[in-house]
Amino acid sequence: MSGNTVTLHRVIKATPERLYRAFLDADALAKWCPPHGFTGKVHSMDARVGGGYKMSFTNFNTGQSHSFGGTYLELKPNELIRYNDQFDDPNLPGQMLVTIKLKPVLCGTELTIEQSGIPEAIPLEFCYAGWQESLQLLALLTEPEIPDQA
């Protein structure tokens, strides 16, 4: 595992339950996780410790895709998600580790994400920029209070 690590911190005006679900629901993940300019597809998801997921991002302009997946290592409902992650592309070797911490605060949820072991070929500023765009989309998905229509 390389030493390349990014750490992100946000407060999102949504409950920990809603954010936790957004990370483990395939349809939600496909909606918020791809950074701007990409579409996303979840090919499989087994959201339990020892289960895994497979996903791909497609560049909307070029049509080129890259796929990746991993295994869930630790899941504490509404508190913690930890999984490993790796690209299918042999030019992006190694295994990453992603840790997501959720902490309730007065105005929502404090979200901390650490992604370590990022392949050397990926500039860290690209990771930061991509995560920042994804987290904007996560907030747009999870913050609205939309009442059920009976």
pLDDT digits (tens, 9 = 90+) for 3-14: 699 999 999 999
Under the banding of pLDDT at 50, 70 and 90, the label for residue 149 is: confident
Q: What is the CATH number of domain 5-37+74-142?
A: 3.30.530.20
Mean pLDDT, range 9-31, rounded to an integer: 98
Can you give the pLDDT at residue 138? Answer: 98
Would you kindly state where each structural domain of the chain is located, as residue ranges? 5-37+74-142
Q: What's the rounded Cα separation, in Å, for the pair 80 and 11?
A: 15
Q: What's the rounded Cα separation, in Å, for the pair 148 and 62?
A: 39
